[in-house]
Structure 1
Amino acid sequence: MKAMVYRGPYKIAVEEKDRPAVEHPNDAIVRVERAAICGSDLHLYHGMMPDTRVGTTFGHEFIGVVDEVGPSVEHLQPGDRVMVPFNVFCGTCYFCAKGLYSNCHNVNPNATAVGGIYGYSHTAGGYDGGQAEYVRVPFADVGPTLIPEWMSDDDALMCTDALPTGYFGAQLGDIGLGDVVVVFGAGPVGLFAARSAWLMGAGRVIVVDQVEERLAMAEQFAFAETVHFKQVKDVVVHLKKITDHLGADVVIDAVGAEADGNRWQHFTSTKLKLQGGSPIALNWAIDAVRKGGTVSVVGAYGPVFSAVKFGDAVNKGLTLRMNQCPVKRQWPRLFEHIRNGHLTPSDIITHRIPLEHVAEGYHLFSSKLDGCIKPVLVPNA
């Protein structure tokens, strides 16, 4: 099959790779119809996630058609059109029983924290991802779900990570009626977090970023006020001024450890095997939220020492909530929102790229060229 293959930082290509096979009776093989490039994929692309091995195929956002199933699979059959959450999870361990699918204890030998994630290095289990013509899906009776007949492929694709993660970010904020919500980051997750804040009763939503096209999308798609942080002297002071000098009730960090880092961060990731990036957005969130407020963190962070202002969080009496999104737990409510027309997640898709041109897609997305906000890869386009 054809698959995106990692060859080192900033080096990816489409190559011929062995078609995945059923390795366990509970496996399914899915023929990929759509895959997406996620902002967190850029950590891998930039060489800033530890144990990203040469030969790995990225991609944790994908949908497709079941091509083959193992002998123990009961709920799927060849020909089924399925959406696959980015979490690989067993469905039976202590954490899965609590709905914490992103913290599954049985799918990752490094599972001190995160469970399994498709195409996200061996720190997340070493599973090949969906930026390929075929992908192996473990625990096929647990993760994948039939795409509703009324749902489009593009909307289903957004439901595999970006939309549920943004919704989860707003959910973690415990937003009350009329709350002021600030979202750091106007990438896909931030856009969905901002739009979801309204669904949870927010009275005001403000999105902070530095990319004009993303800020425009935040106004158009998420109906949010926007702040270009490079056009104000101090973004925290500015946010305080426009929130009665108190700060926001809820701040959502949808940036994480910034997918693009400086030379020192590259050194710590590639030489010292630490995750690159910095805690700037998280510290801004701690500073910009009011005393007694809530900071929700759904941006991607790795195992790195970061100078986080934890003392300030303590002294302000903040509630900090965070996790990788347990995608499947969000689906029932999100499906209703989509079916009732409350949001159309595919509205944020800006580029459709044949799998053969995946390197160009990563370059466009990484460098924020051509107004690229959310690129979708199409095998056999």
Structure 2
Amino acid sequence: MKALVWHKPNDIRCEQVPDPKIEDSRDAIVKVTACAICGSDLHLLDGFMPGMKSGDIMGHEFMGEVMEVGAGARADLKVGDRIVVPFTINCGECIQCLRGNFSVCERSNRNADLASKAFGRTTAGLFGYTHLTGGYPGGQAEYVRVPFADKTQIKIPKGSLTDEQVLFLGDIFPTGWQAAVQCDIQPTDTVAIWGAGPVGQMAIRSAVLLGARQVICIDRVPERLAMAEAGGAIPINFEKESVIERLDELTAGRGPEKCIDSVGMEAHATGTIDALYDRAKQAVMLESDRPHVLREMAYLCQAAGTLSVPGVYGGLIDKFPIGMIMNKGLTIRTGQTHVKRWTDDLLRRIEEGQIDPSFVITHTASLEEGPGLYKTFRDKEDGCIKVVLKP
């Protein structure tokens, strides 16, 4: 089969690889009908996430048709079922899964010992996302093996919705939703969202659906800010205006009650001392992540407010203002997305027409075009906001 394969930073190729096979009774083999390039895939492209190996298959946002089912999964799945596959692999039976904390499933990471050494405790296995999270082949391929397939799937009614409408249930839609839910949004709240990429766009729509008084989005890419404004956000271009002054103006000098970091470890701040400091330390491997957005959110958030962090961080940051956070009484909520906790509700909202997540798609292409579109997406060329690939 064809798949997008990581070889080294900035080297992803479309290649022929062996077809996946059933390895466990709870497995399923899925023929991929649509997959996407995610913003967190760019951290792998750029070489900032540890644990990648040459030959790893990329991709954690995908859906398709069930072609083969292991004996242990047959009560929940059958050949021909149409499913979206969450990027977080969950067994459905461990203590964390029973609590709904699917992204920290205790059983799905087959490299749990390695993850425990890095994080203190294991997290869930993830598709196409480093050997710290299991080293599972990803979904930017013609076929994929889904472990724990009786639980790691979202069944989609045939014919009722297009792939494009439901594909993002596997990652960016529940990620944006969880980011907003973690804010405990009240009708009087201003929610400020850093980053107008795909997750930021979903967080904007989620904050609007959850009843925020006003939503503000900070970015620098005009087409992304235009999409944010179309979704109900007040745009701030940080290259053209002061984020501090504009937020003070919009909040009567109090700051937003809730702040969301949809950027993560590769913040592209321009002209600030801390951004220059981070880039220098990252270049000599004294810091792995660039936390400009975290610092700015902590500074600008209203006292006793909440910082929600769906943006991916991979390791260590420096000059983190813990004293500011403690003295202002800020709450920080983070985490990979507990996808299955949210998807029944979100699928219903799509079916009822409350939201059509396909609005975020700007590019649709073949798998063979994927390597080039990785770079188009990373470099924000050609108005690229979200890429969908059709294997």
TM-score past 0.5 threshold: yes
Aligned residue pair count:
372
Cα distance in 1 between the residues matched to 2:107 and 2:123: 11
- Picking from 165, 169, 190, the partner of 1:180 is 190
Per-residue deviation, 1:71: 1.8
| Residues 105-116 of structure 1: pairs in structure 2 closer than 5 A | 105-108=106-109, 109=112, 110-111=115-116, 112-116=121-125
Cα distance in 2 between the residues matched to 1:249 and 1:318: 10
Cα distance in 2 between the residues matched to 1:262 and 1:64: 40
1:258 is the counterpart of 2:266: yes
Q: Identify which range, 184-193 or 237-246, moves more after superposition.
A: 237-246
Cα distance in 2 between the residues matched to 1:56 and 1:38: 16
Cα distance in 1 between the residues matched to 2:255 and 2:335: 24
Any conservation in 2 of the 1:40–1:259 contact (CA below 8 Å)?
no
Cα distance in 2 between the residues matched to 1:13 and 1:139: 28
Per-residue deviation, 1:186: 0.3
What amino acid maps onto 2:249 in structure 1? Answer: K
RMSD: 1.5
1:211 is the counterpart of 2:221: yes
What amino acid maps onto 2:164 in structure 1? Answer: D
| Residues 37-48 of structure 1: pairs in structure 2 closer than 5 A | 37-48=37-48
| Residues 223-262 of structure 1: pairs in structure 2 closer than 5 A | 223-232=232-241, 234-258=242-266, 262=279
Any conservation in 1 of the 2:279–2:290 contact (CA below 8 Å)?
no
Name the TM-score, length of structure 1 as normaliser: 0.94
Name the SS of the counterpart of 2:170 in structure 1.
Answer: coil
Q: Percent identity?
A: 44
What amino acid maps onto 1:224 in structure 2? Answer: A
| Residues 283-322 of structure 1: pairs in structure 2 closer than 5 A | 283-322=295-334
1:280 is the counterpart of 2:288: no
Q: Could you say if the C-alpha distance between residues 361 and 259 of structure 1 is closer, same or farther in structure 2, counting changes exceeding 3 Å?
A: farther
What amino acid maps onto 2:282 in structure 1? Answer: Q
Cα distance in 2 between the residues matched to 1:185 and 1:143: 29
1:193 corresponding residue in structure 2: 203
Cα distance in 1 between the residues matched to 2:36 and 2:267: 16
Cα distance in 1 between the residues matched to 2:284 and 2:72: 46
1:79 is the counterpart of 2:96: no
Q: Could you say if the C-alpha distance between residues 107 and 259 of structure 1 is closer, same or farther in structure 2, counting changes exceeding 3 Å?
A: farther
Any conservation in 2 of the 1:252–1:295 contact (CA below 8 Å)?
yes
Cα distance in 1 between the residues matched to 2:48 and 2:284: 9
Any conservation in 2 of the 1:249–1:290 contact (CA below 8 Å)?
yes
2:131 corresponding residue in structure 1: 122
Any conservation in 2 of the 1:46–1:259 contact (CA below 8 Å)?
no
Name the SS of the counterpart of 1:72 in structure 2.
Answer: helix
Cα distance in 1 between the residues matched to 2:199 and 2:44: 18
Any conservation in 2 of the 1:177–1:202 contact (CA below 8 Å)?
yes
For residues 197-240 of structure 1, the C-alpha deviation after alignment (integer angstroms, 9 at most, x for no partner) is 111110101000011110011011x21100001112x4234312
Per-residue deviation, 1:126: 0.6
What amino acid maps onto 1:32 in structure 2? Answer: V
Q: Could you say if the C-alpha distance between residues 26 and 8 of structure 1 is closer, same or farther in structure 2, counting changes exceeding 3 Å?
A: same
Per-residue deviation, 1:151: 2.1
Any conservation in 1 of the 2:360–2:385 contact (CA below 8 Å)?
yes
1:93 corresponding residue in structure 2: 94
Cα distance in 2 between the residues matched to 1:215 and 1:87: 29
Cα distance in 2 between the residues matched to 1:361 and 1:179: 37
Name the SS of the counterpart of 1:23 in structure 2.
Answer: coil
Q: Could you say if the C-alpha distance between residues 9 and 266 of structure 1 is closer, same or farther in structure 2, counting changes exceeding 3 Å?
A: farther
Q: Identify which range, 368-377 or 296-305, moves more after superposition.
A: 296-305
What amino acid maps onto 1:212 in structure 2? Answer: P
Any conservation in 1 of the 2:154–2:343 contact (CA below 8 Å)?
no
For residues 141-179 of structure 1, the C-alpha deviation after alignment (integer angstroms, 9 at most, x for no partner) is 111121123222111111110010001100000000121
Q: Could you say if the C-alpha distance between residues 18 and 267 of structure 1 is closer, same or farther in structure 2, counting changes exceeding 3 Å?
A: farther
Cα distance in 1 between the residues matched to 2:318 and 2:132: 19
Which 5+ residue runs of structure 1 have no aligned equivalent? none
For residues 20-62 of structure 1, the C-alpha deviation after alignment (integer angstroms, 9 at most, x for no partner) is 1111111111111100000000000011100111100110100
Name the SS of the counterpart of 2:204 in structure 1.
Answer: helix
What amino acid maps onto 2:368 in structure 1? Answer: E
Per-residue deviation, 1:113: 4.9
1:11 is the counterpart of 2:28: no
What amino acid maps onto 2:169 in structure 1? Answer: C
Name the SS of the counterpart of 2:257 in structure 1.
Answer: strand
Per-residue deviation, 1:77: 1.5
Any conservation in 2 of the 1:43–1:259 contact (CA below 8 Å)?
no
Any conservation in 2 of the 1:173–1:250 contact (CA below 8 Å)?
yes
Per-residue deviation, 1:292: 0.9
What amino acid maps onto 1:330 in structure 2? Answer: W
Per-residue deviation, 1:259: 6.7
